[in-house]
Chain A
Amino acid sequence: MGLEGRRDLPVLGSGKDGSASFLTTKLDFIVNWSRRNSLWPMPFGTACCAIEMMASYASRFDMARFGMERMAFSPRQSDVLICAGRLPYKMAPIIRRIWDQMPQPKWAVSMGACASSGGVFDAYSMVQGIDTIIPVDVYVPGCPPRPEALIYGLLMIHEKIKGETWFGEEGKLLRAEDPARVGQAQLPAETIEQVAVPFGNSTNQNRGSGMSGVRALEHPRNRRP
């Protein structure tokens, strides 16, 4: 039996050292299994990425294979927010309100370059990455990403859910958000400034890819070894 190896774990409640018991780990497994196989996405399609998102739901790619049968066009009935497309500042309070209206536990996917970083739109009207407004779990790169990429991103959400514990910290629900932060930006003002200079958030990807800064774009020899 599979129980043989778990004799050291208490059956009920938490162990004295706070470790998980047999019951909670098995319950976590069942809860996470059911959760990740019935994720209802809240589509927030603002641009061309939404076309690829629709293709992902259509018959050829068929996201319903992963339990996402139904696009929930009400935030109150959805689990995953998929922001597909660039987000103008005028839409920022709207996506924040939709996020606030979704019940926990909830996850967010930022689909495409513009949603993740502002993309090419380093302009007066565009939010430099939706993670300044709402917390984001998975960023799907691409312009726009192929449906396979979006499906891969959602499978990453599945992987995240696998590692989650239903019995969180004392008195806290899983992925609970502070009610006081309703309608507030996700990142502090200094961080928003930091990610958006000097050429928009999308250039920060170069820092991750080994270039020492935006100046490095001037000549390849300035590239970090």
Chain B
Amino acid sequence: MAKDNDTKFEAALKDLAGTGPGKRQMPGPGVQTEAVDAHPSVDALKATFGDAVLRHEQHAGDEHVVFVDPERLREIMAWLKDEPAQHYDLLKDVTCVDYGGGRPIQVVYELWSIEHRRQLRVKVELPVDALDVESVTPLWATANWHEREAYDMFGVQFRNHPDLRRILMPENYEEGYPLRKDFPLRGRFSRAEQTRRALALDLEDYYLPEELEVKEQKGGTTPEPGAERALPETAGQPGGARSVPGSEAQAGEGE
């Protein structure tokens, strides 16, 4: 009886993971077929860029979604931002959607034109084995952290991003990209290994106060991960900034 329950249970688990016999297809994006309303920006986009505008959809009333060619994304976004008739000066969000089952991952850009009070959602579809797209950080500075988050959670590589590092997960995280559909809920490593790796993280590795201060003063960028750090040497105690105060105190008290 218990054995039977166990096998049934395992089968159900496999089924949920999409590897069992009753393989379930995750719900995904359907291609909209019914007619959509006219949107001034989409019409202008189609007139200007022609084939680079792949699809135009309308959701939830008046949410207009336009799918564009990833290769020409940067060009299209620059046009949407700078063209006086469009002037989408506010990038509200950059995010990603993975529908699973090997379907393309969508990168979503939410645009808002303050001047024209107009909303437009631009999407690009990227195949899971070639996840890279041009960064829009040079256009909207706010895209910097949004794109870092999309990189952290989905592994989308943004070309020409000034500082593409993980933003939510720890720097030494090597289990992959957690919000992908093929990522196991509990991570790829065992709990013990996850704990060991978490505690092995050097808290001084990134975002040292001195580092941020130097960056501000010199107008430089944060160093690349793994790059040699040039920290200001405190007078009288070279490298004093990197000593761990806690360990010293603890060692002193234990005597």
Query: B: which residues have CB within 8 A of A?
Result: 2, 5-6, 9, 168-170, 175, 178, 183-187, 190-199, 201, 203, 244-247, 249-251, 253-254
Contacts and interface: CB of A to CB of B under 8 A. Distances in A.
B195 A132 contact: yes
The 3 residue pairs across chains A and B that have the minimum distance between CB atoms: A124-B187, A189-B192, A179-B254
A48 interface: no
Contact of A89 (B195, B250, B254): B195
Contact of B254 (A122, A176, A193, A196): A176
Given A124-B175, A125-B169, A189-B192, A183 B2 contact: no
A220 to B, nearest CB: 14
Contacts of B183: 124
Contacts of A215: 2, 5-6, 9
A96 B199 CA distance: 8
Contacts of A184: 199
B interface: dominant SS: helix
Given A96-B199, A122-B185, A192-B195, A183 B253 contact: no
Contact of B250 (A92, A94, A100): A100
Interface in A76-104: 76, 89-90, 92-94, 96-97, 100-101, 103-104
B194 A182 contact: no
A128 interface: yes
Given A122-B186, A215-B2, 20 more contacts: A89-B194, A90-B201, A92-B198, A94-B203, A97-B203, A100-B246, A123-B187, A124-B175, A124-B186, A128-B191, A132-B195, A133-B195, A133-B199, A178-B254, A179-B250, A179-B253, A179-B254, A182-B247, A189-B195, A193-B191
Nearest to B255: A179
Nearest to B178: A124
A76 B178 contact: no
Interface in A98-124: 100-101, 103-104, 122-124
A94 to B, nearest CB: 7
Contacts of B192: 189-190, 192-193
Contacts of B201: 90, 93
B203 A177 contact: no
B191 A192 contact: yes
